[in-house]
Structure 1
Amino acid sequence: MTRVSLLCSTRTGLWAGCSSTRTNISTAFPEVAWNFHIGGYQPAQKWLKDRRGRGLSWDDIGHYQKIVKILIETDRLMKEIELPLE
């Protein structure tokens, strides 16, 4: 698991667990999703880096959870596929 810090903001009611105006939340992500590459990019990391310095809405958090789930499932499916190399 990889530890990632997320910024949340209660000013806009973005994260129910926040007690101050801005709070960093550290959470764990599966290594397979965090390190997954698509065309030279690591989508799980890039998505968060593109939003660095701003709070995440509930929709943002839900969308990111879907991205992580899809990356994990894609990795699983890729491991199931066996293509003949002949």
Structure 2
Amino acid sequence: MAGGWSRDGAVQDQIDSTVEDALERARSQLPRGESLKYCEECGEEIPQARREAVKGVRLCIACQSERDKQRSGFSGYNRRGSKDSQLR
């Protein structure tokens, strides 16, 4: 059931688009290729177990944790089609 000017299914389309965007972003951040033996950031050796567990790993655990903290500020809301975002 559509409300106002929106068509039927518009809310579900926005939800689907948000999920697709999140999946695309997550997939783009997956490591690829050969794992490094030494961290790109600090130069510390990356443990063999980590290199085997995470294919294409480029950072040690400490540097990866720091990078994850920096990325945690992303909102995750898709406002492409929302009327609210067009008014701001």
Q: TM-score, normalised by structure 1?
A: 0.32
Greater fraction of residues in helix:
2
Larger radius of gyration: 2
Q: TM-score, normalised by structure 2?
A: 0.31
Which structure has the higher relative contact order (CA within 8 Å, separation 6+)? 1
